[in-house]
Structure 1
Amino acid sequence: MSGHSKWANIKHKKQKTDAQKGKVFTKIGREIAIVVKQGGPDPEVNSKLKDVIAKAKAANMPNDTIMRSIKKAAGDVDSANYEEVTYEGYGPGGVAVIVEAMTDNRNRTAGDVRHFFDKFGGNLGTSGCVSFMFDKKGVILIEKSDKVKEDDLMMRALDLGAEDFSTEEEYFEIITSPEDFSNVREGLEQDGYDFVEAEVEMVPQTMTTLTDQKQIDFMDRLIESLEDLDDVQNVYHNWDGE
């Protein structure tokens, strides 16, 4: 899993501005709304909601904001009906890209996503064109500190059902199957561990390196532009140079 570890660490070295945090909170709020509508407002009954709450806490979303989002979703039966849509394509230099969106207007979202692929030297493909290069995995990152003992954390994570454990420069990374993610996350949460990240995501099997500076610039701008779209929840890729 070393390729993914590098990718995850680089991703989290970027400091979020307040504006970016606000956008992240909005997107998590939308995710909360969808899972509440699917399974109800009680996280003890709705395991998907429990997982999204953990993701929100890892993103430093305030508890009162989380609770407001849940209450709003539970009482707002007439709100826009968002659906989950996934787009796949290639960025410059053949980098594989997966875009997960939540939208109330498929045509708008597809047009926006296609525009940026075209603008920055990529092309939007058909469903399944790159997803075979990724594995769906639970990813939990815990920041290194004097309080966190590596051996204890590793043994506990593996006992709970984790598939893999690795040590990176700034984080301990725990990989799980999607099915075991909730159990591992809840067990570690009950043990008092704080997460930098805790969510199920698409993990690339291999990484792609770009050497052409124009392609590097375009790839950077493609990811940034896609992540900036209100409808886009997640952008996954196998570029190792972000």
Structure 2
Amino acid sequence: MHNANTMLYLRHAELLRDKVPSFGSYPFNLPAIRDLERLVFEKHVTFLVGENGTGKSTLLEGIAAAWGFNPEGGTLNFSFNTRASHSSLYEFFRIARGVRRPKDGFFLRAESYYNVASYIDELDEQLAPSPQIKDSYGGKSLHEQSHGESFFATFVHRFGGRGLYILDEPEAALSPVRQMSLIARMHELVKLNSQFIIATHSPILMSYPGADIFLLESEGIRKVTLEETEHFTVTKAFMNDREKMLRELLVDDE
């Protein structure tokens, strides 16, 4: 497996700081973006982690839109727009592409996945009786499955390899067992020359071997190990001595 930066589809995302109108206004005032110069991708799997409000999803959305994905998610061909709440951040990114072009790609975000599923159903109505788009998602409307089932169907059936896959908190719809299954599916796709960039809170997903983990915090962005993340340390401490942790959390007023 190649780890060289040049073998990746997305090599770096550079913020054009001299073009930013103001670092005092959203989204440029977010900790992850305020001091950002260039985010370099060196591994086939990269995680963006951090507390809510640090700018994970905004940064991920900006990178995805700069690549050419619909800010609400889907493939490069998806052009629907149900809300205009995405930021202008993508306009200030310069994307460095690798020497190889991906054959596949998908931007998956939990908060707007319903809209992606609706768009697929609308397109299939227009295509009928021709082959249906849902056939590449397991053959069943994503609305006819549970949120978790449809999420996982997309990973298993729609992601085909040689792709750039950008995922925003995929664990939101997945049980711990499904998260482990996602790691296995990711590994299959990495072996098929795929690249993943994932914003997550899940220490299970972050455990993927050999991945880069970027921690977004009030001071900016830095690379960390899994064991350095609060997600790992808090989860481990809680499970190792949950009775003590619960006693401290659930203090009864005397």
Fold shared by both chains (TM-score > 0.5):
no
TM-score normalised by L of structure 1: 0.24
Structure label with greater radius of gyration: 2
TM-score relative to the length of structure 2: 0.23
Task: Tell me which protein shows more helix as a share of its residues.
Answer: 1
